[in-house]
Amino acid sequence: MDKVIRAIEKNGKIRIFGAITTELVDTASKIHNTSSVVSAALGRCLTANCMMGIMLKGENETVSLQIKGDGPLTTIVTAGNCKGEVRGYVGNNFVELPLNDKGKLDVGKAVGNGYLTVIRDLGLKEPYIGRVELQTGEIADDLTYYYASSEQVPSVIALGVLVDRDLSVKAAGGYIIQLMPQAEEEVILRLEENIKEITPITTLIDEGKSIEEILAIVLKGFDILTTDTLTPLYKCNCNRDKIQRAITSLGKEEIKDIIETDEQAELVCYYCNTKYLFDKNQLLDILRNS
């Protein structure tokens, strides 16, 4: 069962976020009909976004990740909230590439060179936007660099997605471990030693280990206190009213042109592929009320 948790080292020197997202990522891969490398890339972003979401404090706050690269994947966009609910889409859902030199899905090559943008909407006049150049395109490395350069928070980030031969997601999850300013050199060195020996997270998940057991391995020697536990979900917030407002925003002349040319409008949600059909009479109603 999927789970996302927030925890802290008992002396407040490390904060920890961990997630198993196998079902969530499998749902996303089926919605978008993604190839294996795309499932891995999108799944890593969704998992990271899920953990970054539970860092938020306000119920109406959101955080989004946008990756734009020159690889064949082109774009990854994900968005999430403090409840562990996330959604996302990709620019190209079917990319096929040879395995990389480690025998793994080549997410870095699929993404290519480009930029990672993190957008936090905290309900203020303007959202907080941080943007960094992609380091490897492997997602975890890029987020580690983002936290170090944009937020000055030293972080250890692992993200993984294991795709089965039938393209279903066999295991997915990750963790974000962040050092607080009061962390001494001894804490840093112990964490570094642990990380050197760690097994890939998808292997641990595939072996049946819980996220608590995985974090106990990563943070061996530390006393960890779990503060929050949630069930992450792939959930889109689209509805017919929102789509209708989108049509209204096109303006009267554009709506008239749609009525005269096609006599109907079909809009598809990027995040969940739900189709919304508006016939001629419904478009005329929108036109009259706009």
Residue 110 CA, distance from chain mean position = 16
- pLDDT by position in tens, the chain (length 290): 899 999 999 988 999 999 999 999 999 999 999 999 999 999 999 999 999 999 998 888 999 999 999 999 999 999 999 999 999 999 999 999 998 888 899 999 999 999 999 999 987 888 999 999 999 999 999 999 999 999 999 999 999 999 999 999 999 999 999 998 888 888 888 888 888 888 999 999 999 999 999 999 999 989 999 999 999 999 999 999 999 998 898 888 888 888 888 888 889 999 999 999 998 889 888 888 87
Q: Do domains 3-234 and 240-289 have the same CATH topology?
A: no
Architecture of the 3-234 domain = 3-Layer(bab) Sandwich (3.55)
Q: Count Cα neighbours of 29 within 13 Å in the Cβ-side half-sphere.
A: 28
Does the structural domain 240-289 have CATH classification 3.90.1280.10? yes
In the chain, what is the straight-line distance between the N-terminal and C-terminal CA atoms, in Å? 46
Instruction: Tell me how many degrees the CA angle 97-101-103 measures, rounded to the nearest 5.
Output: 75
Per DSSP, helices labelled H in the chain are: 22-32, 36-53, 107-111, 140-150, 185-196, 201-206, 211-218, 240-248, 252-261, 280-289
Maximum alpha-carbon separation in the chain: 72
CA neighbor of 41 nearest in space, from 112, 107, 119: 107
Residue 156: the pLDDT is 93
**Hey, where are the domains in the chain?**
3-234, 240-289
Residue 269: the pLDDT is 92
Residue 43: the pLDDT is 98
Residue 181: the pLDDT is 87
Residue 38: the pLDDT is 98
Residue 62: the pLDDT is 95
Residue 194: the pLDDT is 87
